[in-house]
Chains A and B, each alone.
Chain A
């Protein structure tokens, strides 16, 4: 079998094929990981450009740049692209690169399915972005696409939106299947589950979440498709349906989805902090149990997105209590990270800076989340910028900083070069400042009463909106530093050792830098 495969991939060479067909046909987890990461980075800039359009319009009261109709398309597309096009594929890319290396496997369990999983995405997003240039315009009903705004009252692009979501969903499901199959079946002998790196654990759990809820998303958009084109009335009261049913089904997907977007970041940070503190992760078992608890709990809290919908009292109380409970395992993780640092011997290279910022800023996002969980108070927070502040804190200095930290951490392994540390630190500080200047004021304008998804606002919200817009430009343009740094590091730089970082533990640091095209053809020994 090995001989046959060698003929098939390499035509006798040890390296990859040449030219563009290499990328189209590759089944190599490193190549596919790289494609996912570049795709995600591109989508980050596209979604980011939309954010800058939004923030430019919101810089001052009044409509200066765009019409309200286009503004609604921007907010919708920004959300869809960042969630499904940037954050999720970036994590999948990191999983593709690192999971086989971390478990000592030669590749993912299903390499050809892996190729399809990736290539679906450019098509899905091509279709979605194309709607921006049609006469009807792009989807304009928010990334949460509530019915009947997204069914009876939707522009014709909604059908492309539905197909795009189906494609992204299939990609995610296939990716998740691959990850689980790899982790459960391809671990090197001696690597028991409780010896796996935390990044592998968090991805294992995330993959199960994906399999559980992406099909439900597929279900809800199929129901939409049927309501719009086939005369059903899942969400239309006229035919016996219910708009609130939409929200229940959507958020049954939607809440686990946000944990899908953060759990891998927890894993990354749990690898980075021990390395740069030169100290083992505190409470490994506890971290595994906490992550699992968060995953289980994520299934029973969905209606905290619906506190103002008119839920019965007992239902509202149940969801409030369940949501508050999630704070406990999340807090446990934060305490464990801090305990890892404590009495360590820390250095502050760029990955560590992003990881430390993650711990602080994600926790702040968690605090606003706890405030939102309190149902009576949520009546004043719901659908305001307080919510926007909360989820941007957990997603940007949360998930995105986790991804960036991982990229800096593993970049020398991927490219064989250390990146320019000074430039990395500069990127960090600009991002850190940018992210806080953008999103911290949003807590205030939300509390002061500014609703979400409005293109223009009353005068008392003006000053903080102006500050947020300035911050957005700082943050956005700082990512160009990252782009420059990535290209520079790929092309050259100080040669990286196998171990790369003093204090790094794990199978990925036992292979050369850059990582050879094929690794662990022979399973390594794990003690």
Chain B
């Protein structure tokens, strides 16, 4: 009932305003989402909304009636009544009753949202500047999840993809039909993890652990996209979330695959790589993990993030360069990438930085050097 009227209204508005991108929707309302909790929240939202609409209709109705009827130009004469205890009591009591009525379903829903008991799966979520890290407790699976939208798309150099700003390299995969507990914290500043379709939003606070939960019902397998919801610095708008709900069977397979991939990566670090292979991979890693701050062409960003082109670190002592990438630089936004990137990726990206954009040191950093540096 609600949405049809609004759709008609919005098509009127549409015809008055030339809409730029054909891909943009005219979303007017909160999603109902796919979980019971998200549906309860949606229902609560609509209930309060309708109560407000009806109160508005009555109050503004009286007001507009008055504006049209009680005007001097129509010869209205002003009455002088100016108080009524009875009326004041009435319009204090009635809103109070309405509010109490609202508070009941609100309380029930909130109590439900706070019940994190008896979960099947626990996922620790750590917010970083500016990406999310996921660890599946007891499963030996953990990874970082970075935005994959390219700088070229962001700066209007190429066309924007369908999931512009809402796509990542690694999805957080969960099984349907199971109760999932999210343990949320932060590595640096306050972030917030939010996926609207499952109605989970919780602040990620450094030093403290917050929790939330969700059950994605069986049959609701799919991709659900969310964003960081607390200002956390420069790239606050560029650290999205993609939750992938799969069947329990697929989830088990995925866990096995993740462990295998991690092992393969560790093993690969012991192998040999040519300079060209490292450069190719390095360019990929750089685009995904470094370009957002250090610039697509290594030019940095103003005074905030240093340029790598011709930088003393990227063209100077190799050990110092490796150290700063692996261990970060305390007191700055440069993180310790040892936890985030495999030894192969680390070797590749450092090799790339030392040779791209005219840096041309001719150096090759191998994964074995990274392993040694980490000792």
Contact = CB atoms under 8 A, between A and B. Distances in A.
Do A and B touch directly, given a CB cutoff of 8 Å in the complex? yes
B164 A61 contact: yes
Contact of A460 (B24, B30, B96, B153): B24
Given A243-B207, A278-B72, A283-B82, A374 B102 contact: yes
Contacts of B227: 449, 451, 454
A452 B231 contact: yes
Interface string A302-332: 0000001110010011001100110110011
Contact of B165 (A141, A344, A348, A456): A456
Nearest to A153: B189
Contacts of B17: 463, 466-467
Contacts of B66: 338, 341-344, 346
Contacts of A467: 17
A191 interface: no
Contacts of A359: 63
A383 B20 contact: no
B316 interface: no
Contacts, number: 305
A244 B52 contact: no
A343 B88 contact: no
B21 interface: yes
A346 B67 contact: yes
B83 A284 contact: yes
Contact of A463 (B20, B56, B79, B165): B20
B235 A68 contact: yes
Contacts of A379: 41, 113, 199-201
Given A347-B71, A459-B164, A383 B230 contact: yes
Interface residues of A, number: 100
B237 A447 contact: no
A68 to B, nearest CB: 5
A335 B235 CA distance: 45
Nearest to A503: B78
Interface string B295-306: 000000111100
Contacts of B24: 459-463
Given A284-B83, A320-B110, A142 B45 contact: no
A286 B92 CA distance: 11
Interface centre among B77, B164, B211, B302 (most CB of A within 10 A): B164
B174 interface: no
B59 A338 contact: yes
Contact of A370 (B44, B48, B72, B82): B48
A128 B16 CA distance: 42
A256 interface: no
Contacts of A463: 17, 19-21, 24-26
B357 interface: no
Contacts of A324: 99, 102-103
Given A149-B189, A363-B56, A69 B234 contact: yes
Nearest to A320: B106
B8 to A, nearest CB: 15
A286 B303 contact: no
Nearest to A360: B60
Contact of A462 (B21, B102, B192): B21
A342 B67 contact: no
Given A332-B88, A371-B45, A374-B44, A380 B201 contact: yes
A345 B78 contact: yes
A41 interface: no
A349 to B, nearest CB: 11
Contacts of A356: 63, 67
Contacts of A310: 202-203, 205, 208, 210-211
B15 interface: no
A325 B228 CA distance: 31
Contacts of A348: 67, 71
Contact of A456 (B102, B114, B154): B154
Contacts of B232: 149
A344 B81 CA distance: 10
Interface string B215-248: 0000000000111111111111110000000000
Contacts of B25: 448, 460, 463
A420 to B, nearest CB: 20
Interface of B: 17, 19-21, 23-31, 40-41, 44-45, 48-49, 52, 55-56, 59-60, 62-63, 66-67, 70-73, 76-84, 87-88, 91-92, 95-96, 99, 102-103, 106-107, 109-111, 113-114, 153-156, 160, 162-166, 188-190, 192, 194, 196, 199-203, 205-208, 210-211, 225-238, 301-304, 333
26 contacts: A62-B155, A148-B188, A149-B231, A243-B205, A281-B82, A308-B202, A310-B205, A335-B87, A335-B91, A338-B66, A343-B66, A344-B76, A347-B71, A347-B72, A348-B71, A356-B63, A364-B56, A376-B40, A379-B199, A379-B201, A383-B229, A449-B27, A455-B237, A456-B238, A457-B165, A463-B25
Given A63-B154, A140-B233, A371-B52, 4 more contacts: A61-B21, A72-B236, A331-B91, A463-B17
